[in-house]
Amino acid sequence: MADLILGQVLSFAGNPFHDGPAAARHETHGAVLVQDGLIADVGPADTLRARHPTARIHDHGRALISAGFIDAHVHYPQTAIIASWGKRLIDWLNQYTFPEEMRFADPAYATVIAGRYMDLALAHGTTSMCSYATIHPTSVDAFFTAAQSRKMRAWTGKTCMDRNAPEGLRDTAQSAYDDSKSLLNKWHGQDRLSYVITPRFSPTSTPEQLHALGALWAEYPACLMQTHLSEQVDEIAWVRDLHPQSRDYLDTYESQGLLRPGAVFGHSIHLTPREIARLTEVGAALVHCPTSNTFIGSGLFDMTLATTLRVGLATDTGGGSSFSMLHTMAAAYEVAQLRGQALHPAHLMWLATVGSARALMADHQIGNIAVGMEADLTILNLASTPAIEQATRRADDIWQALFPTIMLGDDRAIAAVWVAGRPVG
């Protein structure tokens, strides 16, 4: 039987970074018909009620039906260390990240954290994510098993490191290739799961390892490749010392076959003009991680890049300080303000849905409400707290009604979540 979900409906017919807020479509009394895991119809509530009289009704009143949030850059193994007292990037890795990732050699521990992460993400309205695992193949198995059991569309890959990491967290160029290939063949394309080739970043991979992963990507070009790029100024200086033969940070990847469509670069704050030009030319994607960038003191992302590049949005758990994409949208707004770039609520919602889907080359499947898309939905209560409700009551349009939830909302604003056409919980 089909399900008819009623409420306000927000979708996108274009890109607000090109077309402004007019790219969004808002149905005040709307409906979404869900059948066999897909969106089967969208339109005014009265029209769809008449068209589908036998559908089960789920009436959310004035709540806003959106595509499910998509977190385009996350480290699920850092779930347990989120909100640890922050330092700079390298200190964070050595003091918190690497010791915690060592624990994922234990499959039972990996299973617990993967399940906890998925449940926290869903509670905050996130229905898909692209995560780093650890060097342990079992960490990939745990993540994909947790996503598969929840019928989620999800991406991850074994994180590869062959230098500048503790004993027990290093592999080799050959083992990184072998393990990644084995995991890719095991998981990629199973249900809604996709494998991502994942060198952590140039400081922890030798040119030989990056070359091996570039060769693997050439063998499996349908996969994504994810890594980090230009997060902090001192990191960039370190990369320059480690890779003196490279023109810049991006070239450490480009020269090893790791730059083309399907490349997803987290952070990308301190880019040179050459790097921006090459990223634009090849159609690579950037992922903005605002809570992480402010928490670890990395810098302020330039959102004008979204006019020419694929740009997604991410919590960057656990360097990021929240599991909530609403909180992440609020942080993105504040970072842009500090750069003199005012983001409209349409920009923010786009980044958390269609933008992240485009960054992951999945906008034909998820990230928007349209007939034929997979039915991953997040339904927002636009009056979830007294502070938000009093602001919403004064609103003259949907954007004034939505913005307080973006800036002040948390998991209490998540009225319902649907994954693959089924309600969660």
- pLDDT on residue 219: 98
- pLDDT on residue 86: 62
Strand, coil or helix: 236: helix
Kindly provide the b/e burial profile for residues 271-301, where b requires at least 16 CB atoms within 10 angstroms of the residue's own CB: beeebbebbeeeebbbbbbbbbbbbbebbbb
Write out pLDDT tens, residues 59-95: 999 999 999 999 999 999 999 888 777 666 667 677 7
Cβ–Cβ under 8 Å, residues 249 and 258: no
Cis-peptide into 318, omega within 30 deg: yes
DSSP assigned state of 203: G
Q: Which two tokens stand for residue 255?
A: 């020269």
Cβ–Cβ under 8 Å, residues 293 and 300: yes
Q: Which two tokens stand for residue 271?
A: 């880019």
245 pLDDT band (50/70/90 cuts)? very high
187 pLDDT band (50/70/90 cuts)? very high
One-letter amino acid for residue 152 of the chain: M
E strands, 250-303, in order: 263-267, 285-288
Cβ–Cβ under 8 Å, residues 313 and 325: yes
Write out pLDDT tens, residues 113-134: 999 999 999 999 999 999 999 9
Whether the CA torsion 70, 75, 79, 83 is positive or negative: it is negative
| pLDDT mean across residues, the chain | 96
Cβ–Cβ under 8 Å, residues 402 and 382: yes
Cβ–Cβ under 8 Å, residues 184 and 195: yes
Task: Using CA atoms of 211, 216, 219, 225 in order, give the dihedral in degrees to the nearest 10.
Answer: -100
106 pLDDT band (50/70/90 cuts)? very high
- pLDDT on residue 91: 73
324 has pLDDT over 70: yes
Q: Kind of pairing, strands 285-288 and 263-267? A: parallel
- Residues in Cβ contact with 27 at an 8 Å cutoff, skipping those fewer than 6 apart: 8, 9, 42, 43, 44, 45
- pLDDT on residue 96: 78
- Residues in Cβ contact with 323 at an 8 Å cutoff, skipping those fewer than 6 apart: 82, 120, 121, 123, 124, 126, 315, 317
- pLDDT on residue 238: 95
368 has pLDDT over 70: yes
Q: Domains plus CATH for the chain?
A: 3-68+367-423 (2.30.40.10), 69-359 (3.20.20.140)
- For 268: left if phi > 0, alpha if psi spans -120 to 50, otherwise beta; the answer is left
DSSP assigned state of 95: I
Distance CA 397, CA 154 (A): 34
- pLDDT on residue 85: 75
Mean pLDDT of the 213-217 span: 98
Q: Kind of pairing, strands 193-199 and 69-75? A: unpaired
Distance CA 409, CA 381 (A): 9
138 has pLDDT over 90: yes
The alpha carbon of residue 374 and the mean position of all alpha carbons in its chain are separated, in whole angstroms, by 17
98 pLDDT band (50/70/90 cuts)? confident
- pLDDT on residue 97: 83
CA neighbor of 244 nearest in space, from 255, 233, 228, 230: 255
Phi, psi of 26 (to 5 degrees): -125, 125
Q: Which two tokens stand for residue 39?
A: 């969106």
CA neighbor of 39 nearest in space, from 63, 62, 60, 11: 11
Q: How many CB atoms lie within 10 A of CB 120?
A: 17
- pLDDT on residue 88: 64
What is the DSSP secondary-structure string of 111-179?
HHHHHHHHHHHHHTTEEEEEEE--SSHHHHHHHHHHHHHTT-EEEEE-EE--SSS-TTS---HHHHHHH
Distance CA 283, CA 385 (A): 41
Distance CA 346, CA 422 (A): 26
pTM > 0.85: yes
Cβ–Cβ under 8 Å, residues 335 and 301: yes
Distance CA 146, CA 151 (A): 9
Percent of the chain with pLDDT over 70: 98
Q: Treating both helix axes as pointing N-terminal to C-terminal, what angle do 173-187 and 207-219 enclose, rounded to 10 degrees?
A: 30
One-letter amino acid for residue 64 of the chain: L
